[in-house]
Amino acid sequence: MNPLFYLSETFESIQGEGNYAGTYSFFVRFQHCNLRCSWCDSKFAWGENEQVTIVSATELKTTIKASKAPHVILTGGEPTLYQLDKLLVPNKQYHVETNGTILPTQALDIVLPDGHRIQREAMDERIIQHFNWVISPKLKNAQQQVDTTNLSYWATKSWGIFKFIIQQKEDISEVTEMIQKFNIDKKRVYIGLEGVTSESQLQPKLVDEIIANGFNYSPRLQVLLWGAKRMK
């Protein structure tokens, strides 16, 4: 199978969140997602009327290689819809931002909510285990009925972190229940604040609750600096 990649946009910026916040990075934002989260800040990546670029693995690798950024952020949309192990370029650190509902090491044949069908082969674990995976399970505040079964897979891997987005302190209790259910090490958990305005991110009392519960806080630097601006 010769994989194709549906792109929403590519750009250079800083990684705004998680365990590599602040690093100079090249972003590959894939089009299409298997979820429809109510507060999604990149709905354009699964909107039907958006302009989409379709490229081969060779073309996308050439684009990645042309960037001077040492970090490559594969995001979306949902990047695990695609054959990410075919995008390896030497001397680049890869990061994958995923909702955690799709297993990369299993072949995929899925029909998305918009009717689009995605097929790909299983990814090679020998390659993707060197990526920094940022698993972002969705809480009830996303207003989605999400099957969290596959979190048991991610909990056994040491490849990255778990990032949760909260709106209020009650969400922290839900995070605690989820990590206890799947035996996720609290040291691997980062919590960020939902919103696309600087005001939404400047909530010291809510961050105090994150600290009090022993979690890492994830800033959302792109929101603080540029708000809802695209390609940032």
Domain ranges of the chain: 4-226
**Residue 34 contacts by C-beta under 8 Å, 6 or more apart in sequence?**
78, 81, 99, 101, 102, 110, 112, 113
Asked if residue 45 lies in contact with residue 31, where contact means CB atoms within 8 angstroms, the answer is yes
Confidence of residue 2 (pLDDT cuts 50, 70, 90): confident
Phi, psi of 189 (to 5 degrees): -105, 130
For the segment 70-92, what is each residue's pLDDT rounded down to a tens digit?
999 999 999 999 999 999 999 99
The distance of Cα 207 from the centroid of its chain, to the nearest Å, equals 21
Model confidence pTM above 0.85: yes
| pLDDT confidence of residue 174 | 97
For the segment 102-152, what is each residue's pLDDT rounded down to a tens digit?
999 999 999 999 899 999 999 999 999 999 999 999 999 999 988 889 999
Asked if residue 48 lies in contact with residue 159, where contact means CB atoms within 8 angstroms, the answer is no
| % of the chain residues with pLDDT over 70 | 100
Asked if residue 172 lies in contact with residue 215, where contact means CB atoms within 8 angstroms, the answer is yes
Taking only Cα atoms into account, the Rg of the chain, rounded to an integer number of angstroms, comes to 17
CATH superfamily ID and name for 4-226: Aldolase class I (3.20.20.70)
| % of the chain residues with pLDDT over 90 | 94
Rama region for 18: left / alpha / beta (φ>0; ψ in -120 to 50; rest): left
Nearest in space to 81 (alpha carbons), one of 109, 60, 55, 62? 109
